């Protein structure tokens, strides 16, 4: 099973996120953290600049970010917002595990 984690953001930091990493940095951080925990084959991270959306799905999220004044980086898994502004690994882990992903260490121990 492979799960795509989408991170939406833009080059410009949101006003409330001045001391936080950029959306692109957050995507890179998530890729490293999630790959370590679940394995690189289980997770793919996709970054999308919501000011330059490429797909229909990205256009829909870009519209929501602007209209609903959502904080970015916005982390979306299977169409559900899992993190906004300063995403928490704990919340992302919980969503992934609810979807059936298991940490590498837990998999190795059960074999």
What are the tens digits of pLDDT across the range 65-79? 999 989 889 999 999
The proportion of the chain whose per-residue pLDDT surpasses 70, expressed as a percent, equals 88
- Nearest of 61, 60, 51 to residue 82 by alpha carbon: 61
For 86, other C-beta atoms within 10 Å of its C-beta total 13
The proportion of the chain whose per-residue pLDDT surpasses 90, expressed as a percent, equals 72
pLDDT tens for 25-84 read: 999 999 999 999 999 899 999 999 999 999 999 999 999 999 998 988 999 999 999 999
Element (H, E) at 44: strand 43-49
In our burial notation (b when 16+ CB lie closer than 10 A, e otherwise), range 16-49 reads ebeebebbeebbebbbeebbebbeeebbebebbb
Q: What Cα–Cα distance (Å) separates residue 53 from each residue in 49, 91, 110?
A: 6, 26, 42
> Residue 69: is it exposed, middle or buried by C-beta count within 10 angstroms (0-12/13-18/19+)?
exposed
Does the pLDDT of residue 17 top 60, yes or no? Answer: yes
Q: Which residue's entry shows tokens 């209209």? A: 67
pTM confidence score = 0.88
Does the pLDDT of residue 85 top 90, yes or no? Answer: no
Query: What integer pLDDT is reported at residue 15 of this predicted model?
Result: 63
Does the pLDDT of residue 103 top 60, yes or no? Answer: yes
């Amino acid at each position: 099973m492979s799960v795509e984690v989408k991170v939406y953001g833009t080059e410009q930091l949101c006003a409330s996120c001045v001391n936080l990493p950029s959306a692109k940095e957050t995507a890179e951080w998530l890729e490293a953290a999630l790959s370590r925990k679940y394995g690189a084959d289980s997770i793919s991270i996709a970054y999308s600049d919501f000011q330059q959306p490429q797909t229909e799905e990205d256009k829909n999220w870009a519209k929501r970010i602007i209209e609903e004044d959502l904080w970015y980086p916005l982390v979306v898994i299977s169409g559900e917002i899992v993190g906004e502004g300063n995403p928490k690994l704990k919340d992302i882990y919980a969503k992934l595990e609810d979807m059936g992903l298991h940490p590498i260490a837990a998999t190795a121990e059960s074999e």
